[in-house]
Amino acid sequence: VHKSDPALQAAHAACPWLVTWDDHEVQNDYAGVTPGNTGPEVADFDARRAAAYQAYYEHMPLPASVLTRGLGGLMAGAETRLYASFQYGQLARIALLDGRQYRSPQVCTPDGRRGGGLVPVDGCPALADPARSMFGAAQEAWLDARLAEAGRAGTGWTVLAQDLLFGRRDADAGLGKLVWNDAWDGYGPARRRLTDALQRHRVPNPVILGGDIHENWVGHVKADYDRPDSASVGVEFCGTSISSRASSYPGFDKLVAENPHFVFADRDRRGYGLVTLTPQRLETELRAVRDVADAESPVDVLARFGVASGRAELEHSLK
């Protein structure tokens, strides 16, 4: 049904696409080979995941090379390797990443449930386990090598395109920390390995793109989220959904205030982001439709942001 939409067909015809996935291609909050938490129980989750990966390959603009065991070999346990790098002259390099297929299962989800949930950091020592990974060991090593290459190049923009909110989002307005364990907050040591690599390799102009949460979040990537005064090592743009509603999370304004490394957040409007790169600047424009049920709905500019090359600092204007 989706691919019969004339507007989507026109978008595919007009632009090259780099695509990655999150969880709903298979099951809500699944993690690697661990089932998620919605829908009917499935006796053979590996078979379900493999069928979903096959459908994704058949309906998205992907090369056959992503099927690492060949088209006829996409069966239970087979890998669909989406992560890849793309070079745009001296302007930018994009690392397209997969934060779902290889990740460790979530830990400490309340009531013993699978998948994601709000977890108190102090009550879950497993959150600090360095053996847990968001990308898996092979993809982590691959990304570290790409970041080293970017550091040696020394110029241009380094874009990490992945599927999740990266920065810490503490939901506890008190002294404790309450985090959503399906996002990067559930994989703190892996996040720290990535921010350490950005600094160790002196990666030029890091920009992290994310999604998943059906809300716009824009912020600074911190060297150490436990120290609010630590250096900003990059910027982050987490995009909202184009039509799906956001969560009814209570106290949204307090959530924003509790996490000052984010400079902007909005959960009310649906839309998309447009990022423009030049050698000197990055410009991001967040756009929002007025009515998701109206195909002819006007589109408004929700906010604009700029980043000067060589400075991991967001410049923000509402209009």
Residues 107 and 240 in one domain: yes
Residues 96 and 228 in one domain: yes
| 255: Cα within 13 Å, side-chain hemisphere | 18
Residue 106: what residue type?
A: Q
**Per-chain mean pLDDT for the chain:** 92
- The answer to the question of residue 291 being in a domain is no
d(CA 109, CA 141): 28
DSSP run (H or E) holding 50:
helix 45-59
Question: From start to end of 143-228, where are the E strands?
Answer: 157-161, 178-180, 206-210, 216-222
In the chain, what percentage of residues exceed pLDDT 70?
Answer: 95
Residues 87 and 72 in one domain: no
Residues 167 and 257 in one domain: yes
- Please, are residues 285 and 307 in contact by the beta-carbon 8 Å criterion? no
- Please, are residues 226 and 217 in contact by the beta-carbon 8 Å criterion? no
Residues 99 and 49 in one domain: no
- The answer to the question of residue 298 being in a domain is no
Residues 223 and 168 in one domain: yes
- The answer to the question of residue 289 being in a domain is no
Tokens 């992290």, residue? 208
Residue 136: what residue type?
A: G
pLDDT top residue among 247 and 48: 48
Q: Is the pLDDT of residue 272 over 90?
A: yes
- The answer to the question of residue 309 being in a domain is no
Q: Under the phi-then-psi rule, with left for phi > 0, alpha for psi from -120 to 50, and beta for the rest, what region is 295? A: alpha
Residues 77 and 108 in one domain: no
Residues 125 and 257 in one domain: yes
Q: Is the pLDDT of residue 184 over 70?
A: yes
Q: What are phi and psi of 245, to 5 degrees?
A: -70, 160
Tokens 């503490």, residue? 170
- Residue among 196, 190, 201 at smallest CA distance from 93: 201
- The answer to the question of residue 280 being in a domain is no
The number of domains in the chain is 2
The total number of residues shown for the chain amounts to 319
Residue-number span of the structural domain to which 18 is assigned: 1-81
Q: Is 81 exposed, middle or buried (0-12, 13-18, 19+ CB in 10 A)?
A: middle
pLDDT digits (tens, 9 = 90+) for 13-45: 999 999 999 999 999 999 999 999 877 677 788
Going by pLDDT thresholds of 50, 70 and 90, the confidence category of residue 72 is very low
- What pTM was estimated for this model as a whole? 0.94
Residues 218 and 153 in one domain: yes
Residues 23 and 142 in one domain: no
CA angle 301, 303, 309 (to 5 degrees): 120
- The answer to the question of residue 1 being in a domain is yes
pLDDT of residue 71: 42
Residues 248 and 107 in one domain: yes
Residues 23 and 168 in one domain: no
pLDDT of residue 3: 86
DSSP-derived secondary structure for 279-312: SSEEEEEEEEES-TT-TT--EEEEEEEEEETT--
pLDDT of residue 37: 87
CATH of the domain at 157: 3.60.21.70
- The answer to the question of residue 292 being in a domain is no
Residue 280: what residue type?
A: Q
Q: Which residue, 64, 81, 98, sits at the end of a domain?
A: 81
Fill in the DSSP letter of residue 31: B
In the chain, what percentage of residues exceed pLDDT 90?
Answer: 79
- Residue among 84, 207, 222, 104 at smallest CA distance from 157: 207
